[in-house]
Amino acid sequence: MDKRNWLIAGGISSIAVAVLHIGVILAGAPAYRYFGAGEEMAQMSEAGSPIPALVTFAIVVIFFIWGLYAFSALGWIRRLPLLRLGLIAISAIYTLRGLGFIPQLIWKLQSPTSIASSDIVFSLASLLIGIIYGMGTWKNWSLTAQ
């Protein structure tokens, strides 16, 4: 696999996660429940509060920016500030979030109704994206040089 493909996959993954969150905003309460935002967010959405949409939109912006960092390292857009540090941080955040699958799996095995299987899947997806960003950052270290 071409070393640049890691960053391409990472960037596309972050943009896809951003688009998914836009879908959550559009779908409303059922999506907030399914994706684990919490019952309070779902109830606020049902009541017509703008807070869930605003919070979720902030998350959309963050994931979109993360995608831009991968594309910046590839030279597809202008160089973003603190590119190396940004890519390392993005890799770490995704990976740490993804490592949550370990306790989730243990809880699931101990009490099958304690956690939704979808939560484990979301954690594993995050871990995979973190690994992709990490590999992309490592394999393209020279592209991220100041």
Q: What is the residue extent of each domain of the chain?
A: 3-144
pLDDT digits (tens, 9 = 90+) for 32-91: 999 999 999 999 999 999 999 999 999 999 999 999 999 999 999 999 999 999 999 999
Residue 146: the pLDDT is 55
Positive or negative: CA dihedral 15, 17, 46, 27 = positive
Positive or negative: CA dihedral 37, 98, 125, 18 = positive
C-beta of residue 2 within 8 angstroms of C-beta of residue 15: no
Residue 115 has pLDDT above 90, yes or no: no
Comparing 23 with 143, the larger pLDDT belongs to 23
CA dihedral in degrees (9, 12, 17, 18; nearest 10)? 150
Reported pTM: 0.92
Helix, strand, coil shares, percent, the chain, to 5: 80, 0, 20
For residue 144, name the pLDDT band (cuts at 50, 70, 90): confident
Angstrom distance (rounded) from CA 84 to CA 100 = 25
